[in-house]
Structure 1
Amino acid sequence: MTTATVVGSTGLVGSQILNQLLSIAKVSTVTTLTRRPSPHAIADPTSKLKATINSDSSAWATLIPATSTFFSALGTTRADAGSLAAQRAIDYDLNLSLAKAAKERGVNTYVLISSAGANAKSWTPYSAMKGQLEEEVAALGFEKCVILRPGLIVGAREKARWIEQPLHAFANLLGGVRAGLKDVWAQDAETIARAAIRAGVEEEVWNGRKMVEGKNGGKVWTMGQAEIVELGKL
């Protein structure tokens, strides 16, 4: 049986990861670490969910259980955080501290929701931050490390980002004409979550995939938008 921990489960992709994990028979328990109760409906018919709510995220690293798989969809925006430094404290610092704690707790498979364009050497602060995090977690030596790089993430957010609304509408319009027109640059949160879970819990999907060896051992699979769509579509 698979046991899982999810951080970022109150967000758009993370909430999808949580609900989908709870519906999978081979997953026995799902632990979440959040600052507040989830704003999304959670269906947990067999009481798999072990929810830990602690407003002090600096304490989360000490609360991570010894699960087999760790999913991070943790992240914020500069606008919500208030500054680039505050965003980095969550997107990079907190993520990395939790990844290190997960490794120490014996987690075998680590799954990170990153972003298209992530590049540690980028001149763009956001892309550089995402790329730096990818490099750091890949070097921790997880047996399996999965990094997903979705494009525009489409779905109903708790707090609408007005600047993205026209792009979401355009993506959905293209998807209504032909799925491929949307899939190459925008993916539904549900699709991203399903791809993340399949990579995290289904051994067979690793066969034939392009991956590299991490600096301290283990396999690292960086999944672009095409593979996300391939694995995440029903």
Structure 2
Amino acid sequence: MANVALLGSTGMVGSHILTNLLSNNKVSRVDTISRRAPTVAGDAPQTKLTTVVSDNSSKWAEQFSALTPTPDILISSLGTTRGAAGGFENQYKLDHGVNLDIAKAAREAGTKVYVLISSSGASKDSSIHYSRMKGEIEEGVKELGFERTVILRPGLIAGTREESRPVEAVARFVASWAGKLHSSLKDGWAQESDVIGQAAVKAGLKALEGDVPEGSEKVWLISGKSIIDLATA
């Protein structure tokens, strides 16, 4: 049985990760740290769910360190948009700064597996700000040396968001239309948020058990259609 901590539990992917964690019989405890309580916590309190709610994200690493017992797995789907953050500098502070601060706290506490929801095109050498930031987060986490690090790189995340993102909404409509014609027209570049959530939980538990592909003993990278294949296996 695994103890799991989750960041980004109120987001599009994170909410599905949380649902999967709570329903998984291999998970004994789930801790979330967020600015507001996850919807599932308010609608249907779960005995194995503990929520830490704080609007001061600079305290989250300290709050993670206080979790007892120490989580075996940390899953992060934490992220925001430049618009919601009020500019790229603030977005970087949350997406990069807070993610790595908590990852460091987890590594020091003895967490064994780190699962990161990243993005296709992530690269520390990218000329695109967002992709470079995601790549820098990946590199920072890998340098911490968890027993196993799992990185999911979805393409377009399909599904329904609470907040408005007009450009993404158009792309999600196209993905939905393409998927109805044939899954092969969609699966390589767009994955449903609930499927990503399933894959993240499965990957984290497999990594904890040492059940990872050959050559991925330290860092397991899962992208595109491989996310769907893992979720539906």
CA deviation digits over 1:104-127, x for unaligned, max 9?
Answer: 111000000000000001111111
Query: Is residue 19–residue 40 contact of structure 2 (8 Å, CA) maintained in 1?
Result: no
Give the aligned partner of residue 215 of structure 1: none
Query: Is residue 70–residue 107 contact of structure 1 (8 Å, CA) maintained in 2?
Result: yes
What CA distance in whole angstroms lies between the structure 2 residues aligned with 1:190 and 1:175?
15
Query: Is residue 19–residue 42 contact of structure 1 (8 Å, CA) maintained in 2?
Result: no
Give the aligned partner of residue 229 of structure 2: 230
Q: CA deviation at 1:82?
A: 1.0
Give the aligned partner of residue 216 of structure 1: none
Unaligned runs of 5+ in 1: 213-218
Q: TM-score, length-normalised on structure 1?
A: 0.92
What CA distance in whole angstroms lies between the structure 1 residues aligned with 2:2 and 2:24?
10
What CA distance in whole angstroms lies between the structure 2 residues aligned with 1:177 and 1:12?
25
1:220 partner letter:
V
Q: TM-score, length-normalised on structure 2?
A: 0.92
Report the secondary structure of 1:159's partner residue: coil
How many residues are treated as equivalent by the alignment?
228
CA deviation digits over 1:31-68, x for unaligned, max 9?
Answer: 00011122467675751100110111111111112110
What CA distance in whole angstroms lies between the structure 1 residues aligned with 2:100 and 2:180?
38
What CA distance in whole angstroms lies between the structure 1 residues aligned with 2:206 and 2:98?
27
CA 1:114/1:15 → structure 2, altered by over 3 Å: closer, same or farther? same
CA deviation digits over 1:73-106, x for unaligned, max 9?
Answer: 0000111111110000011011000100011111
Unaligned runs of 5+ in 2: none
2:94 partner letter:
I
Q: CA deviation at 1:14?
A: 0.6
Query: Is residue 39–residue 158 contact of structure 1 (8 Å, CA) maintained in 2?
Result: no
2:219 partner letter:
V
What CA distance in whole angstroms lies between the structure 2 residues aligned with 1:206 and 1:148?
16
Give the aligned partner of residue 74 of structure 2: 70
Q: CA deviation at 1:178?
A: 1.1
What CA distance in whole angstroms lies between the structure 1 residues aligned with 2:161 and 2:210?
29
Give the aligned partner of residue 216 of structure 2: 211
CA 1:205/1:152 → structure 2, altered by over 3 Å: closer, same or farther? farther
Report the secondary structure of 2:125's partner residue: coil
Query: Is residue 116–residue 149 contact of structure 1 (8 Å, CA) maintained in 2?
Result: yes
Report the secondary structure of 1:6's partner residue: strand
Query: Is residue 10–residue 40 contact of structure 1 (8 Å, CA) maintained in 2?
Result: no
What CA distance in whole angstroms lies between the structure 1 residues aligned with 2:133 and 2:176?
29
1:22-61 aligned at under 5 Å gives the runs 22-39=22-39, 46-61=46-61
2:221 partner letter:
T
Give the aligned partner of residue 20 of structure 2: 20
What CA distance in whole angstroms lies between the structure 2 residues aligned with 1:155 and 1:4?
24
1:43-122 aligned at under 5 Å gives the runs 46-64=46-64, 65=67, 66-122=70-126
Give the aligned partner of residue 180 of structure 1: 184
Structure with more of its chain in helix, by fraction: 2
Q: 2:199 aligns with which of 187, 195, 201?
A: 195
Q: CA deviation at 1:223?
A: 1.1
CA deviation digits over 1:143-179, x for unaligned, max 9?
Answer: 0100110000011111121111111111001111111
